[in-house]
Amino acid sequence: MPGRVHLGLTASEPAPRLPSGQEGLDTLLGGGVPRGRISEILGPLTSGKTSLLLVLLAATTQRGEVVACVDLADALHPASVAAAGADLQRVLWVRPPSMTDGLRCTELLLQAGGFAVVAFDLGATLPRPLRSRVWPRLLHAAEQSHTALVVLAPQRVAGSCAVLSLGLRPRALRWQRGAWPLFDGFDTTARVERSKLGAPGQWIVIRARESCSGATSFLALPNTTHEHGAR
């Protein structure tokens, strides 16, 4: 309408999505991770946050796009990234020495543009409370560059600036039966804790399996008796 000014994306504008290629997960997220917005992947250690991120990075780089990981947690393993199917030539890995440096690197990457995803992994425990004023700046930079900013953290950190918060909670470890039981993966519950783009509260169970090569596959089990393969 004449006389109206819109800065960034508005609630009425559909957010372009970055699909993970995992049917059950993309259905839960309404098509994938939204571009130009902040999304949170939340959960304790060993809840599957990194495995889920690797699936997203693999799907994005396989489409020919470039991604960046600001790894404050120092949790990324290049061999695992490659085994998940990601093109390492399209992955920028940044290992900042402090939270302040990590936030600054994230903002600079968003402002630079050209990245489909910028992931910021804060680790299993937050070193200190984050100032609330940093998130509006990061959101503005993500909107301007149409980049999906994905924050990995033990609990919500971005407040109202996050359009999507996906909480992961481990359910059970899985073992292959035999004389010598072998670790076969784990089940984790993925629940939409917050969403400005759809109804929150929906959830699925993700069954993650790791092969000898380090690759991770997923089977999304919805909260019914019907199973959907998401390999």
pLDDT in tens, 87-115: 999 999 999 999 999 999 999 999 999 99
Residue 11 placed within a domain? no
Q: Sign of dihedral through CA atoms 123, 191, 149, 26?
A: positive
CB 192 within 8 A of CB 201: yes
Residue 4 placed within a domain? no
pLDDT in tens, 59-86: 999 999 999 999 998 989 999 899 989 9
Of 210, 231, 175, 225, nearest to 23 by C-alpha is: 231
Residue 219 placed within a domain? no
Residue 83 placed within a domain? yes
Say which residues have a Cβ less than 8 Å from residue 118's Cβ, sequence separation at least 6: 67, 68, 69, 70, 106, 109, 110, 142, 147, 148, 149, 150
Burial (Cβ within 10 Å: 0-12, 13-18, ≥19) of residue 16: middle
The total number of structural domains in the chain stands at 1
Distance CA 115, CA 26 (A): 20
pTM for this entry? 0.83
Structure tokens given for 204: 């699925």
Of 71, 59, 75, 135, nearest to 102 by C-alpha is: 71
Cα 88 versus chain centre, distance: 18
Kindly report the CATH number assigned to the domain that includes residue 79.
Answer: 3.40.50.300
- Look up residue 113 and give its amino acid: G
pLDDT at 24 over 70: yes
Angle at Cα 125 formed by Cα 119 and Cα 131, nearest 5°? Answer: 70
Mean pLDDT of 164-185: 72
Residue 127 placed within a domain? yes
CA distances from 62 to 145, 148, 176, 218 (A): 20, 16, 31, 17
Enclosing domain of residue 161? 17-168+192-197
Residue 222 placed within a domain? no
pLDDT in tens, 186-225: 788 899 999 998 778 888 888 776 654 444 555 555 553 3
Residue 162 placed within a domain? yes
Residue 7 placed within a domain? no
CB 147 within 8 A of CB 16: no
Distance CA 63, CA 129 (A): 36
What is the average pLDDT score of the chain? Answer: 83
- Look up residue 120 and give its amino acid: F
Edge-first strand order for the sheet with 91-94 is 91-94, 67-71, 117-121, 148-153, 38-42, 162-176, 182-195, 203-210, 216-222, 228-230
Structure tokens given for 30: 């309404």
